[in-house]
Amino acid sequence: MGYKVKMQKVDRPTNCSYYINFPVPIADSVDMQKGEELEWFVEDRNTFIVRRIKPCKSFLKKKKDRV
């Protein structure tokens, strides 16, 4: 499932910035917090990756190896 967002451009007298909003359902599903730092990567011209700077614990429990 994906969420469409629009890039916004803000022109100010001293600089220009672009903004992309992070959809609330996605932020809630990964327990994102206000002020949390993220970093962007460009995989190619069509794929952008965002990840947490400080990783958090997974919600999934790891299965114990059975011998």
Q: What distance in Å separates the CA atoms of residue 36 and residue 47, rounded to the nearest whole number?
A: 22
pLDDT at 61 over 70: no
Which is higher by pLDDT, 61 or 13?
Answer: 13
| Percent above pLDDT 90 for the chain | 61
pTM over 0.75: no
Q: Which helix (H) or strand (E) holds 26?
A: helix 24-29
* Interval 32-51: pLDDT, tens: 999 999 999 999 999 999 99
Backbone dihedral angles phi then psi of residue 53, each to the nearest 5 degrees: -75, -40
Is there a contact between 43 and 31 (Cβ–Cβ < 8 Å)? Answer: no
**pLDDT score for 55:** 85
